[in-house]
Amino acid sequence: ESTSAPNFIRTQIREEIEQGRVDTIVTRFPPEPNGFLHIGHAKSICLNFGLAEQLGGQCHLRFDDTNPAKEEQVYIDAIREDIEWLGFEWSGEVRYASSYFDQLYDWACQLIRNGLAYVDDLNAEQMREYRGTLTEPGRPSPWRERSVEENLALFEAMKNGEFGEGEKVLRAKIDMASPNINLRDPTLYRIRHAAHHQSGDKWKIYPSYDFTHGQSDAIEGITHSICTLEFEDHRPLYNWFLDNLPVPARPKQIEFARLNLNYTVTSKRKLKLLVDQGVVDGWDDPRMPTISGMRRRGYTPASIRKFCDMVGVSRAAGVVDIQMLYHAIRSDLEDNAPRAMCVMKPLKVILTNLPEDHEEIFEVPGHPAREDMAMRQLPLNREIWIDQEDFMEVPPKKFFRLAPGKEVRLRNAYVIRCDEVIKNEQGEIEALHCSVDLETLGQNPEGRKVKGVIHWVSARHGVDVEVRNYDNLFQVEAPDRDKDGDFLDHLNAQSLEVVHAIGEPSLRQAGAEQRFQFERVGYFCADRHDHGADHLVFNRTVSLKDGWAK
């Protein structure tokens, strides 16, 4: 199953295993439950769970839930569902950083007792000012030299809710002159009078990401704590806590470059804005780069895993072309999606040499190269629908579809010739009168070549289909790298087009989330929520044409 390409992290860990420096690796995927997972998270999931699979280790799912104001149970549920849908299994129970709050509090008290932490009364703005800049060292807070007893008493009072939000923080006492700003007395605890989705009202103070993450890793026996490059400068702090606390294990932080995709945004904050402003129809709108949105759009778990594998893991930041993602799903569906015919812009064709009650049923393959797929039944009657784009009254040269006096093959059926164009009083085309060459079923016509093949649907048996054609959500490559404007200025107004199409009758049996190639049109997936036997709704996953330049 795990055929994925090697990467620098896997190579490094393999070496450690061979040299006996690690026994069993333990990784973790640590989302904050403040939104739905997106394609960037998929990269981290494939990496962390993938390493555990490939190297015989374990991967934990741990919710990094230290900011109750932004977190919700619905996000926890959605994240679990997405990981399972991608086909990964975490080891043991789901874990929560919040279940380590007692231990973290004790460790904070220990830092205070060792003179390594203090309660500061500076407000956020003053702290920023005292912190200094890259070129200028910071200055010590006037509260930095409080006694251990006073710090312990104040910290306990903070915990007991005796101060308002923002009145005090607990900080590590490290080095206000460090060239690494993360070491200039980072904040360990903030006051937040907010109920927490796991711990309820128990806490009035919450640990910072930095004070929580490495210690949680250590508590769980994580061997390799893999994160994105923006945490590289936090690594000395990560290690400082491990050095100064009696942690039970010594995890190692390794950084890799985050995934960026063009024509979209991969930031939960921005995606939440799209949801909150009603730009999209929820977190799982098929235009969203969320895992649940991609699922609803018709992506398979295999295609997302394949894509993550193609993208690879490195320390070089870059932007991946969304065409690569389209390529990954297209090649999966090319091999695995059954075929069906669906006419997007119907044009009536009357097959004049068939009797009024003609009914003929063709048994045709579900997929041209997959004998394991069920055959489907395709009825042909005197009246059929073809696509308006497959007919031209005055065709250019090399138009191999239908035109007056010209012939074309109906896919899986006969060759027909257009004899007459029927128009209404306004001169608009209403129907075509065509004749069927009954000698052409499964064989070439006598003495002439017919190049074109078009799709069609029986008018008597065709079913109404609501087709939702999705396109990129943004019309520019880098919507969130606009220096002067807002990413919302670059929305693609044509990102959703609803079409009332007519599909072959076998589509009535399609279950939600079933995927098809609509021949000559693209790949489509029955909508997870809105599709049903009495209202067929298909989302366009991706077009047929591959635009990915390797």
Looking at the annotation, which residues are catalytic? 32, 258, 268
Among 22, 27, 36, 43, binds ligand ATP (CB under 6 A): 43
Residue closer to ligand ATP by CB (options 70, 528) is 70
30 binds, among ligand ATP, Mg ion, none (CB under 5 to 8 A by kind): ligand ATP
Q: For residue 359, give the nearest of 174, 209, 530, 505 by alpha carbon.
A: 505
Residue closer to Mg ion by CB (options 47, 351) is 47
User: Which residues, at least 6 apart from 440, have a Cβ–Cβ distance to it below 8 Å?
Assistant: 409, 414, 415, 450
Residues annotated as binding site? 32-34, 38-44, 64, 209, 228, 258-259
Report yes or no: 36 and 284 within 8 Å, Cβ to Cβ.
Answer: yes
Burial 402-423 (b: 16+ CB within 10 A, else e): bbeebbbbbbbbbbbbbeeeee
How many residues bind Mg ion, per CB under 5 A?
Answer: 1
Residue closer to Mg ion by CB (options 31, 338) is 31
Q: Considering the rule CB under 6 A, would residue 293 count as an interface residue with ligand ATP?
A: no
401 binds, among Mg ion, ligand ATP, none (CB under 5 to 8 A by kind): none
Q: Considering the rule CB under 6 A, would residue 306 count as an interface residue with ligand ATP?
A: no
Report the DSSP beta bridge partners of residue 290.
38
Backbone angles phi, psi at 439, to 5 degrees: -90, 5
Q: Considering the rule CB under 6 A, would residue 80 count as an interface residue with ligand ATP?
A: no
What gap in Å lies between CA 261 and CA 247, rounded to an integer?
38
406 binds, among ligand ATP, Mg ion, none (CB under 5 to 8 A by kind): none
Tell me whether residue 108 is exposed, middle or buried, using C-beta atoms within 10 angstroms of its C-beta: 0 to 12, 13 to 18, 19 or more. Answer: buried
In the complex, the smallest distance separating the C-beta of residue 260 from ligand ATP, rounded to whole angstroms, is 7
Which tokens in the block code for residue 362? 């063709």
44 binds, among Mg ion, ligand ATP, none (CB under 5 to 8 A by kind): ligand ATP
Cα of 389 vs its chain's centroid, Å: 34
Of residues 32-51, those binding Mg ion (CB under 5 A): 32
Residue closer to Mg ion by CB (options 159, 213) is 213
In the complex, the smallest distance separating the C-beta of residue 234 from ligand ATP, rounded to whole angstroms, is 12
Q: Considering the rule CB under 6 A, would residue 30 count as an interface residue with ligand ATP?
A: yes
| Stretch near Mg ion under the rule CB under 5 A, chosen from 24-32, 96-104, 324-332, 392-400 | 24-32
Report yes or no: 332 and 303 within 8 Å, Cβ to Cβ.
Answer: yes
Cα of 48 vs its chain's centroid, Å: 16
Q: Considering the rule CB under 6 A, would residue 267 count as an interface residue with ligand ATP?
A: yes
Per-residue binder mask for ligand ATP (CB under 6 A), 222-241, x = binder: -----xx-------------
Q: For residue 67, give the nearest of 105, 36, 31 by alpha carbon.
A: 31
Residue closer to ligand ATP by CB (options 46, 342) is 46
